[in-house]
């Protein structure tokens, strides 16, 4: 939670800097704070999940990708792994990576009288975006699109299943 707040403050401070507000000292302070918090998150993830780095290397991350490893730790937390075995369908719904059909929207409007809105976890989506951004940066593609996030999630779930079958 603290990492999310500091990251939000860092992004806001960067926006102020682009507008011409003198925030150089605050920017360095927030960058250092976010980096320290991400190191703590990655260290805790390595402690909690013994095979965390195996999953990371399967996805193409190394130990220096703080953003990607933080995103992986957050995504694994929201998936509930290893206590729950995530299904792709439920994960796509939870992370908000689906596009509802026209019929679903109309059926929802008939039933409730309101417009259709997607309900998903924004903080979970942020961690998935961190993970996807780190992976796509290695492939020299940017910015991540929703289909890239869905592919990353699918690759992560398949990797978790394969490691589980290998005797985790």
Pair 63, 140 in one domain: yes
Best CA proximity match to 92, nearest among 145, 144, 154: 154
Q: Evaluate if residue 117 carries a pLDDT over 70.
A: no
Pair 4, 81 in one domain: no
Pair 11, 86 in one domain: no
Give the orientation angle of helix 52-59 with respect to helix 24-48, to 10 degrees: 120
117 in helix, strand or coil?
coil
Average pLDDT over every residue of 90-102: 80
Last residue of a domain, one of 48, 70, 87: 48
Q: Tokens at residue 106, please?
A: 């109309």
What is the pTM (predicted TM-score) of this model? 0.81
Pair 14, 62 in one domain: no
Range of the domain at 122: 50-165
Which residue's entry shows tokens 């699109």?
A: 145
pLDDT band at 35 (very low <50, low <70, confident <90, very high): very high
Angle at 68 between CA 67 and CA 70, to 5 degrees: 65
Q: Evaluate if residue 167 carries a pLDDT over 60.
A: yes
Q: Evaluate if residue 168 carries a pLDDT over 60.
A: no
Q: Tokens at residue 50, please?
A: 């013994």
Work out the mean pLDDT of the chain and round it to a whole number.
Answer: 86
pLDDT of residue 43: 94
Pair 77, 100 in one domain: yes
Average pLDDT over every residue of 69-75: 93
Cβ atoms within 10 Å, residue 131: 30
Pair 107, 29 in one domain: no
Pair 59, 2 in one domain: no
């Amino acid at each position: 939670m603290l990492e999310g707040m500091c990251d939000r403050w860092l992004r806001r401070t960067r926006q102020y800097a682009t507008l011409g507000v003198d925030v150089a000292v605050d920017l360095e302070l927030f960058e250092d704070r976010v980096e320290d918090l991400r190191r703590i998150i990655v260290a805790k993830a390595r402690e909690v999940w013994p095979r965390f780095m195996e999953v990371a290397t399967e996805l193409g991350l190394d130990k220096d990708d703080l953003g990607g490893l933080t995103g992986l730790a957050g995504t694994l937390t929201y998936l509930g792994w290893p206590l729950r075995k995530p299904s792709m369908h439920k994960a796509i719904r939870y992370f908000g990576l689906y596009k509802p059909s026209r019929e679903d929207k109309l059926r929802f409007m008939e039933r409730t009288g309101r417009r259709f809105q997607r309900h998903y976890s924004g903080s979970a989506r942020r961690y998935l975006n961190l993970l996807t951004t780190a992976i796509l940066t290695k492939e020299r593609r940017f910015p991540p699109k929703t289909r890239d996030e869905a592919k990353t999630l699918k690759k992560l779930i398949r990797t978790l299943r394969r490691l589980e079958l290998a005797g985790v």
